[in-house]
């Protein structure tokens, strides 16, 4: 146990330290983490032997839950609406068609049994949301014709369909008697129902329940993500579909701490993506890859050149989509972590297969990320699909305009210079305004003629602080022997360009006025240019 923890901690540290350099490379950063896992692995420098598919399946499946949840959470429904119909078709019919075309290719060209061929097609039929999101954001690829929204919505929503196909084929191969239509019906109905229900209930609770702190809401949402997967999975539903829908509902609803949740899940998904790709690199045995390299290369080429483009063309042609869009969407069908997770699931089923399915799928994913992922920015430019007038981040619900607004609360005391004045007579910055006046627990929409009264609470709106000059904040704890103790702020001599921006006293925050006397146990927050 301790060895695994040491390994995980070391890997996370290495990945964090490498990230700033990795992002500058022309290849997808996730590919580097796979290679790092292979370096640590059995045939690498550190020769760590790891072949526990059960542990890998558990870690990857749990990680995929949060990737799927945050994938849904990050979708901006308003931005994605124009592309929704196309995306739904690609994530359903497109996945089935790609799996079918690939399965037939494997059966007739590679000579595998039909069920084994369809299994391979099903496992690798979905595109990888993590890889697509990573490339779109890191390379700042804003695409014409709402293509970024189309790819985001498709890649985030096609994993559940691929999972259903894989589960059905594995059930048939294991010899179990099952009604395929009923199984699919149960997967869809329970998955959709649980996702919508848990998402709606979570929003209601977030709006009405008084949580103790921001982290209380965060822990709550963390638990909701797990429940939204586990609940339908326990009764035969599609857990991945459920958690994805739950994420969409919560991400596109107004509720407290949304911005805080975005920062939290940004970190969580970054960590789990690193762990997944490293673990998969650690799990594979490179010396065994040559045995499956040629079949993997042939399958990857067929999917990239024929299966995926043909499916996209058939489905997007009725929408009169541009040829350039069809070409880019076809190329952007990257295979990734979901395919490998489903391959591990198939390995644990112990069905008889000609090829080691994990090694085969791993090789396909490696080729897809390295070739398709690396060339995606170049293909986008060659097809003239780059939209230089927009921002790709608007596609995601965690996007905030650069001119975002911050709010501060101010109490109007009896001696305040604004007390008994009309708002039109108050002089303050041109980029600041009074947005709300709260009087006796009643909200008043401020007008120019609104008079501010003592005990009013006003909410000021202004542009947020932009830390372009890298201001450094440091804390100074005051005790009875400190030279500032007992002095007013105006009488304190501070270093040049230093300014007291906050005083913390007995758990309360005080505005640092010149007349404020510094006391024992105060904490001053001092701002200085870095």
* Residues 389 and 415 reside in one and the same domain: no
Q: Which residue has the higher pLDDT, 271 or 88?
A: 88
Residue 226: partners with Cβ closer than 8 Å, 6 or more residues away:
65
Listed residues 462, 489, 505: the one ending a domain? 462
Alpha helices in 139-179 (DSSP H): 147-157, 159-173
Asked if pLDDT for residue 41 goes beyond 70, the answer is: yes
Beta bridge partners of 474: 526
- The proportion of the chain whose per-residue pLDDT surpasses 90, expressed as a percent, equals 38
Token duo for residue 377? 């920015």
**Average of per-residue pLDDT across 210-238:** 88
Residues 298 and 227 occupy one common structural domain: yes
Residue 140 falls inside a structural domain = yes
Pair (499, 517) in one structural domain: yes
Q: Which residue has the tokens 């994990």?
A: 358
156 occurs within a structural domain: yes
* Whole-number Å distance between alpha carbons of 346 and 330: 27
Q: What is the pTM of this model?
A: 0.74
Phi-psi sector, 100: left (phi>0), alpha (psi -120 to 50), beta: alpha
Answer whether 307's CB lies under 8 Å from 102's CB. Answer: yes
Chain mean position to CA 255: 18
Q: What is the DSSP letter of 382?
A: H
Spatial neighbors of 34 by CB under 8 A, at least 6 apart, are 277, 278, 280, 281, 366, 369
Q: How many domains does the chain have?
A: 3
Whether residue 79 is contained in a domain is answered as yes
383 lies in the same domain as 411: no
401 located within any domain: no
Range(s) of the domain holding residue 482: 471-529
Question: Which of 132-146, 292-306, 410-424 has the highest average model confidence (pLDDT)?
Answer: 292-306
Domain shared by 418 and 326, yes or no: no
Q: Look at 62 and 399; give whichever has higher pLDDT.
A: 62
Average pLDDT over residues 403-409: 65
Decide: residue 137, CB within 10 A, 0-12 exposed, 13-18 middle, 19+ buried: middle
Distance set, CA 373 to CA 250, 322, 378 (Å): 30, 22, 10
Vertex 389 angle, CA 387 and 391, to 5°: 80
Q: In what order do the strands lie in the sheet with 457-462?
A: 406-411, 457-462, 432-439, 442-444
Domain co-membership, 257 together with 309? yes
Position 530 confidence tier, pLDDT thresholds 50, 70, 90: low
Largest CA distance in the chain: 88
18, two tokens: 């490498």
Lowest mean pLDDT among 98-107, 250-259, 279-288, 431-440: 250-259
Cα–Cα dist 203/133, whole Å: 25
Question: Quick one: tokens of 383?
Answer: 């097809």
Query: Quick one: 449 and 498 in the same domain?
Result: no
List the one residue out of 117, 129, 229, 118 whose CA is nearest residue 165. Answer: 118
For residues 459-486, average pLDDT: 75
Share of the chain above pLDDT 70, in %: 91
Question: Dihedrals φ, ψ of 127, to 5°?
Answer: -90, 160
The span from the CA of 394 to the CA of 62, in Å, is 28
Model confidence at 401, in pLDDT bands (50, 70, 90)? Answer: very low
- Of the candidates 395, 418, 449, which is a domain's last residue? 395
Do 457 and 476 belong to one domain? no
Nearest residue to 127 (alpha-carbon basis) of 295, 283, 392, 329: 329
Instruction: Provide the sign of the torsion angle of the four alpha carbons 389, 393, 399, 404, taken in this order.
Output: negative
Question: Look-up: residue for tokens 């947005």?
Answer: 435
Q: Is residue 375 part of a domain?
A: yes
Is there a single domain that holds both residue 414 and residue 484? Answer: no
pLDDT at 311: 96
Lowest mean pLDDT among 81-85, 385-389, 406-410, 423-427: 406-410
Does residue 297 sit in the same domain as residue 416?
no
- How far is the C-alpha of 332 from the C-alpha of 316, rounded, in Å? 15
Place 384 in a pLDDT band, splitting at 50, 70 and 90: very high
The first and second tokens of residue 382, run together, are 């060659």
The answer to whether 492 and 484 have CB atoms below 8 angstroms apart is yes
d(CA 458, CA 446) in angstroms, rounded, equals 9
What is d(CA 339, CA 280) in angstroms, rounded to the nearest whole number?
A: 11
**82 and 152 within one domain:** yes
As given in the structure block, the two tokens for residue 273 are 């993506």
In the listed set 395, 418, 441, which residue is the last one of a domain according to the structure? 395
CATH number at residue 278: 1.20.1530.20
Separation of alpha carbons 51 and 104, rounded Å: 31
Same domain, 120 and 242: yes
Would you state the structure tokens that stand for residue 4, as one six-digit string? 């695994």
CATH code for position 484 = 3.30.70.1450
Q: In 3D, which of 334, 319, 383, 331 has the Cα closest to residue 83? A: 319
Helix-strand-coil percent breakdown of the chain, rounded to 5? Answer: 60, 10, 30
Least confident of 241-245, 277-281, 394-398, 492-496: 394-398
Q: Is residue 313 part of a domain?
A: yes
| Predicted confidence band of residue 417 (pLDDT cuts 50, 70, 90) | confident
Beta carbons of 48 and 282 less than 8 angstroms apart: yes
Say what the pLDDT of residue 468 is: 46
In this prediction, residues 187-212 reach a mean pLDDT of 90
Inside any domain, residue 444? yes
Res. 24: pLDDT tops 80? no
Confidence at 403, pLDDT banded by 50, 70, 90: very low
Quick check: is 400 in a domain?
A: no
Q: Put residue 221 in one of left, alpha, beta given phi > 0 → left and psi -120 to 50 → alpha.
A: alpha
CA dihedral 438, 442, 447, 449 (to 10 degrees): -90
CB 385 within 8 A of CB 324: yes
């Amino acid at each position: 146990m301790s060895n695994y923890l040491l390994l995980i901690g070391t890997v996370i540290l290495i990945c964090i330290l490498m990230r700033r350099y990795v992002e500058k490379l022309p290849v997808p950063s996730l590919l580097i983490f796979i290679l790092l896992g292979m370096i640590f692995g059995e045939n690498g420098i550190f020769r760590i032997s790891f072949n526990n598919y059960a542990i890998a399946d558990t870690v990857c499946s749990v990680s995929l839950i949060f990737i799927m949840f945050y994938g849904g959470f990050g979708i901006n429904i308003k931005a994605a609406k124009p592309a929704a119909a196309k995306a739904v078709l690609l994530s359903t019919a497109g996945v089935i068609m790609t799996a079918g075309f690939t399965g037939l290719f494997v059966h007739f060209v590679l000579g595998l049994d039909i069920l084994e061929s369809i299994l391979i097609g099903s496992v690798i039929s979905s595109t990888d949301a993590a890889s697509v999101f990573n490339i779109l954001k890191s390379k700042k690829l804003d695409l014409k014709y709402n293509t970024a929204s189309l790819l985001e919505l498709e890649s985030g929503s096609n994993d559940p369909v691929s999972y259903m196909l894989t589960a059905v084929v594995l059930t048939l191969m294991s010899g179990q008697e099952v009604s395929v239509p009923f199984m699919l019906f149960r997967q869809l109905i329970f998955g959709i129902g649980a996702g919508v229900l848990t998402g709606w209930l979570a929003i209601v609770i977030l709006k009405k329940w008084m949580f103790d702190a921001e982290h209380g809401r965060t822990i709550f949402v963390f638990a909701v993500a797990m429940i939204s997967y586990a609940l339908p999975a326990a009764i035969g539903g599609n857990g991945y579909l459920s958690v994805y829908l739950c994420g969409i509902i919560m991400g596109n609803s107004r509720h407290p701490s949304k911005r805080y949740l975005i920062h939290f899940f940004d970190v969580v998904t970054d960590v789990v993506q690193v762990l997944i790709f490293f673990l998969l690199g650690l799990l594979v045995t490179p010396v065994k890859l040559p045995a499956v390299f040629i079949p993997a290369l042939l399958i990857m080429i067929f999917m990239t050149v024929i299966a995926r483009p043909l499916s996209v063309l058939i489905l997007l042609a009725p929408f009169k989509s541009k040829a350039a869009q069809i070409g880019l969407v076809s190329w952007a069908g990257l295979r990734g972590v979901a395919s490998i997770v489903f391959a591990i699931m198939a390995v644990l089923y112990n069905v008889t297969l000609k090829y080691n399915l994990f090694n085969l799928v791993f090789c396909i994913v490696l080729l897809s990320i390295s070739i398709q992922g690396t060339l995606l920015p170049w293909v986008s430019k060659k097809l003239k699909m780059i939209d230089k007038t927009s921002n790709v981040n608007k596609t995601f619900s965690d996007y905030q305009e650069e001119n975002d607004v911050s709010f501060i609360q101010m109490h109007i005391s009896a001696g305040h210079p604004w007390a008994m004045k009309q708002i039109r007579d108050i002089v303050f910055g041109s980029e600041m305004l009074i947005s709300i006046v709260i009087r006796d627990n009643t909200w008043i929409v401020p007008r120019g003629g609104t008079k501010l009264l003592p005990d009013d609470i006003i909410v000021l709106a202004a542009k947020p602080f932009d830390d372009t000059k890298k201001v450094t904040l440091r804390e100074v704890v005051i005790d009875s022997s400190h030279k500032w103790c007992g002095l007013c702020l105006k009488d304190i001599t501070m270093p040049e360009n230093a300014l007291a921006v906050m005083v913390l006293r007995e758990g309360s925050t005080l505005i640092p006025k010149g007349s404020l006397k510094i006391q024992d146990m105060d904490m001053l927050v001092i701002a200085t240019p870095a």
